[in-house]
């Protein structure tokens, strides 16, 4: 986390002390570093060297408008999975013709909206979706550009909830049926085949599964050529992991360099697309949370904080480990071992287990590497208000999402009419 550093006893985001943000904005609060996001994106870009490429940031990882705006300014492309994400990208200044649209359940309205907007490519995930897209394009008198998302049946060696490239998952078209799907696409009048796509999972910490998937895609491109189908781009998806604890994934530059090597040595000069999410924003964010109470039950110490699984779901959902550190280091109390628990009425509302911390009640903690799959997975469970989000730029910070209010929480609901 190069842009989150401790100076003396204080933790900073770029040149802003996180304690200043906690005091002025309150907690829980997500804080992002613009410089870290930019640096992560540029690392990908540099990894490609001169090979033609598109970095399609996976909006699902963090869809705050300010985050998307930073990436749009860098010239990023975007990978979306819903009409909501499409509107966000457009509002943030992203170009429609730099968008690829993945997702197993694209609705009629979503396909229609994306066609009207003029997106670059639909990553189609079933033969039925191809037919639906063709019909909608016909009605709009448009041609829909597509890649078939194939399922390369590669074990990404990650948590089962985020492995998407095994043949029994719901994602994509199985590899054995890919040619048949492309044949079908070829005869549909309002479909134009432009690419081949895959995405094998998330938080992948080795290069090997990506390389295996890429080799399968390259073989498919050759077979398609034999069918008279000429592919214009290869999309290998996202999924590169980050270091939360002891993981040691390859750097994005290393991964991309080895992918480009495989493409080029196979004699292929097609543009390579990637769809990174976590590795662009994961280490660019922290979640600030205040200790409300310190207590111990049956000899076990608890730091009860004001952020819960409704704010950050990863620990409860995947048993994920994220580092938890105090904003201000103390030398006036002895360290003790705590379970860091949230306010939600679930025993599983555990943000960190058995962490050694020198803290007092009311101290603020930072949960590290919370920029990806953090705020976007938050909810109002227990009628808790969603947290604020802040972007740091150098020595300034900006609130890029206001903390939710009780009125906003209740705005869409109504009582039944009186009898």
Indicate the residue among 63 and 387 with the shorter CB distance to ligand PLP.
63
Q: In what order do the strands lie in the sheet with 16-17?
A: 4-7, 10-13, 16-17
Decide if 100 contacts 71 (C-beta within 8 A).
no
Query: Binding residue for ligand PLP (CB under 6 A) from 14, 125, 153, 275?
Result: 275
Q: According to the binding rule CB under 6 A, does residue 47 interact with ligand PLP?
A: no
Return the C-alpha torsion angle 31, 24, 316, 237, nearest 10: -20
Decide if 217 contacts 236 (C-beta within 8 A).
yes
- Using DSSP, state whether 338 is helix, strand or coil: strand
Query: Binding residue for ligand PLP (CB under 6 A) from 11, 18, 58, 124?
Result: 58
Least separation in angstroms between CB 281 and ligand PLP:
8
Indicate the residue among 285 and 343 with the shorter CB distance to ligand PLP.
285
Nearest to 374 by CA among 161, 63, 5: 63
Q: According to the binding rule CB under 6 A, does residue 386 interact with ligand PLP?
A: no
Query: Binding residue for ligand PLP (CB under 6 A) from 25, 35, 79, 133?
Result: 79
Query: Using a CB cutoff of 8 Å and minimum separation of 24, what contacts does 216-222 make?
Result: 216/150, 216/152, 216/153, 216/154, 216/175, 217/150, 217/152, 218/262, 218/263, 218/266, 218/268, 220/150, 220/175, 220/178, 220/179, 220/196, 221/196, 221/268, 221/270
Query: Binding residue for ligand PLP (CB under 6 A) from 152, 209, 276, 326?
Result: 276
Q: Assess whether 345 carries a catalytic annotation.
A: yes
Q: According to the binding rule CB under 6 A, does residue 61 interact with ligand PLP?
A: yes
Listed in sequence order, the DSSP H helices in 1-102 are 18-25, 34-47, 65-74, 83-91
Q: Applying CB under 6 A, which part among 110-118, 181-189, 270-278, 374-382 lies near ligand PLP?
A: 270-278
Cβ-closest position to ligand PLP = 277
Decide if 355 contacts 289 (C-beta within 8 A).
no
Strand (E) positions, 23-151? 29-33, 53-58, 77-80, 99-101, 121-124, 144-151
Q: Applying CB under 6 A, which part among 70-78, 108-116, 219-227, 271-279 lies near ligand PLP?
A: 271-279
Query: Binding residue for ligand PLP (CB under 6 A) from 102, 134, 205, 378?
Result: 102
> Total number of residues binding ligand PLP (CB under 6 A)?
17
Q: Applying CB under 6 A, which part among 34-42, 56-64, 302-310, 397-405 lies near ligand PLP?
A: 56-64
Question: Which candidate in 121, 268, 345, 360 is catalytic?
Answer: 345
Alpha-carbon distances of 13 from 108, 163, 187, 357, 385, rounded to whole Å: 43, 32, 54, 21, 24
Q: According to the binding rule CB under 6 A, does residue 238 interact with ligand PLP?
A: yes
Q: According to the binding rule CB under 6 A, does residue 158 interact with ligand PLP?
A: no
Q: According to the binding rule CB under 6 A, does residue 233 interact with ligand PLP?
A: no
Alpha-carbon distances of 311 from 281, 301, 362, 377, rounded to whole Å: 17, 22, 19, 7
Least separation in angstroms between CB 188 and ligand PLP:
23
Q: According to the binding rule CB under 6 A, does residue 371 interact with ligand PLP?
A: no
Q: Cα–Cα distance between 65 and 55 in angstroms, integer?
A: 18
Which positions from 277 to 316 touch ligand PLP by CB under 6 A, shown as an x/- string?
xxx-------------------------------------
Least separation in angstroms between CB 29 and ligand PLP:
22
Indicate the residue among 88 and 199 with the shorter CB distance to ligand PLP.
199
Count how many Cα atoms sit within 13 Å of the Cα of residue 104 in the half-sphere of its side chain: 10
Q: According to the binding rule CB under 6 A, does residue 212 interact with ligand PLP?
A: no
Question: What positions carry a catalytic annotation?
Answer: 345
The residues of the shown chain that bind ligand PLP, judged by CB under 6 A, are: 58, 60-61, 79, 102, 199, 202, 237-240, 275-279, 372
């Amino acid at each position: 986390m190069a842009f989150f550093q401790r100076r003396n006893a204080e933790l900073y985001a770029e040149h802003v002390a996180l304690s200043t943000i906690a005091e002025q904005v309150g907690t829980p609060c997500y804080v992002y570093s613009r410089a870290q996001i930019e640096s992560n994106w540029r690392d990908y870009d540099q990894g490609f060297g001169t090979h033609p490429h598109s970095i399609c940031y996976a909006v699902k990882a963090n869809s705050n408008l300010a985050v998307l705006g930073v990436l749009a300014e860098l010239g990023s492309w975007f990978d979306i999975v819903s009409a909501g994400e499409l509107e966000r990208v457009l509002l943030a200044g992203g170009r429609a013709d730099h968008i690829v649209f993945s997702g197993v359940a694209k609705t009629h309205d979503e396909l229609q909206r994306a066609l009207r907007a003029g997106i670059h490519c639909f990553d189609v995930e079933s033969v039925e979706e191809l037919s639906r897209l063709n019909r909608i394009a016909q009605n709009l008198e448009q041609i829909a550009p597509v890649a078939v998302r194939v399922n390369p049946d590669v074990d990404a060696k990650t948590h089962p909830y985020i492995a998407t490239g095994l043949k029994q998952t719901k994602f994509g078209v199985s590899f054995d049926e890919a040619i048949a799907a492309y044949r079908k696409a070829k005869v549909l009048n309002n479909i134009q085949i432009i690419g081949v796509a895959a995405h094998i999972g998330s938080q992948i910490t080795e290069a090997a599964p990506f390389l295996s998937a890429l080799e399968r895609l390259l073989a498919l491109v050759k077979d398609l050529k034999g069918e008279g189908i000429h592919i214009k781009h290869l999309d290998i998806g996202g999924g590169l992991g980050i270091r939360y604890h002891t993981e040691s994934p390859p750097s994005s530059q290393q991964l991309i360099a080895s992918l480009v090597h495989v493409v080029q040595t196979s004699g292929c000069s097609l543009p390579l697309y990637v769809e990174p999410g976590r590795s662009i924003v994961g280490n660019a964010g922290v979640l600030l949370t205040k200790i409300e109470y310190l207590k111990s039950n049956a000899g076990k110490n608890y730091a009860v904080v004001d952020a819960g699984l409704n704010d950050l779901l990863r620990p409860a959902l995947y048993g994920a480990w994220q580092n938890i550190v105090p904003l201000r280091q103390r030398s006036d109390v002895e360290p003790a071992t705590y379970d860091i628990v949230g306010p939600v009425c679930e025993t599983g509302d555990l943000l960190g287990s058995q962490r050694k911390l020198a803290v007092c009640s009311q101290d603020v903690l930072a949960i590290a590497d919370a920029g990806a799959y953090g705020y976007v997975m938050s909810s109002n469970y227990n009628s808790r208000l969603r947290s604020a989000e802040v972007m740091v730029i150098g020595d300034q910070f900006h609130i890029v999402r206001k903390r939710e209010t009780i009125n906003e929480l209740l705005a869409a609901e109504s009582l039944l009419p009186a009898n």
